[in-house]
C-alpha cells in the first residue's frame, strides 16, 4: 500500500473539471465562493483541483435534484473531513443522510397528493385550517364537509363560512 503523496495533489484546471463535471466554469467559481468546493493555486494564480472535487460536484448535483439548497448542501459537505481526502465511508454516510431527506420529501409529496383531490373538491374555505396548507398536522383536521362555493345554490353556506372571520 504505497500511498504516494503525489496522487492527492491538485492537478486539474477549472476548465477540465468543468468539462468533466458538465458544469460551467462560472459555477465552479461560484461554488468556491460558497465554500462547496476548494481549490489550490498554481504559480500563475490559476485554480487547481484535487480529483475528489468531481465527487463533491456529483454530490452537489444529486442533492440539488432532490431539491436541497446549496446552503444545506454546504452544511452537509462541511462535515466531510478537512484534513484528509474523504473515504468511501464518508461518502456513504452522506448518502444515507440524503436518502432519508429524500424519503421525507417523498412522504411529504405523497401526503400532498392524497389531499389534493379531497381538498380541491371539498371547497372548505378556511385556508388557515385546511390541511392542504399544513399537511404536517394531517391528523388534526379534515375538510369539514362539502361546502361547494362555486355552485350558486350552495354559495350561501360558503358565505357564512367566509363571514365568520373579520
27 near DNA, rule: CB under 7 A: yes
Alpha helix (H) residue ranges in 23-87: 25-33, 52-65, 70-77
The nearest distance, CB 162 to DNA, in angstroms, is: 14
148 near a copy of itself, rule: CB under 8 A: yes
Give the one residue of 13, 51, 76, 126 binding DNA; rule: CB under 7 A.
13
Question: Is 85 within 8 Å of 52 (Cβ atoms)?
Answer: yes
Neighbours of 122 (CB within 10 A): 20
Separation CA 11–CA 153 (nearest Å): 74
The span of 30-38, 40-48, 69-77, 122-130 binding a copy of itself (CB under 8 A) equals 122-130
Separation CA 57–CA 63 (nearest Å): 10
**What DSSP designation does 45 have?**
S
According to DSSP, the residues that pair with 40 across neighbouring strands are 48
Q: Which is nearer to DNA, 11 or 154 (CB)?
A: 11
Residues forming the site for a copy of itself (CB under 8 A): 1, 3-4, 7-8, 12, 16, 19-22, 51-52, 54-55, 57-59, 61-62, 65-67, 85-88, 90-92, 94-96, 98-99, 102-103, 105-106, 109-110, 112-113, 115-117, 119-121, 123, 125-128, 130, 132-133, 135, 148-153, 155, 158-159, 162, 165-166
Amino acid at each position: 500500500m504505497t500511498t504516494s503523496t503525489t496522487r492527492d495533489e491538485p492537478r486539474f484546471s477549472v476548465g477540465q473539471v468543468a468539462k468533466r463535471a458538465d458544469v460551467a466554469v462560472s459555477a465552479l467559481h461560484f461554488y468556491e465562493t460558497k465554500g462547496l468546493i476548494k481549490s489550490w493555486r498554481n504559480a500563475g494564480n490559476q485554480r487547481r483541483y484535487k480529483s475528489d472535487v468531481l465527487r463533491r460536484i456529483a454530490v452537489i448535483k444529486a442533492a440539488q435534484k432532490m431539491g436541497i439548497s446549496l446552503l444545506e448542501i454546504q452544511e452537509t459537505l462541511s462535515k466531510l473531513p478537512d484534513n484528509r481526502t474523504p473515504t468511501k465511508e464518508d461518502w456513504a454516510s452522506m448518502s444515507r443522510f440524503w436518502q432519508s431527506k429524500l424519503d421525507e420529501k417523498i412522504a411529504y409529496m405523497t401526503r400532498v397528493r392524497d389531499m389534493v383531490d379531497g381538498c380541491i373538491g371539498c371547497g372548505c374555505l378556511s385556508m388557515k385550517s385546511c390541511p392542504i396548507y399544513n399537511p404536517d398536522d394531517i391528523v388534526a383536521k379534515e375538510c369539514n364537509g362539502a361546502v361547494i362555493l362555486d355552485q350558486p345554490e350552495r354559495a350561501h353556506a360558503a358565505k357564512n363560512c367566509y363571514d365568520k372571520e373579520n
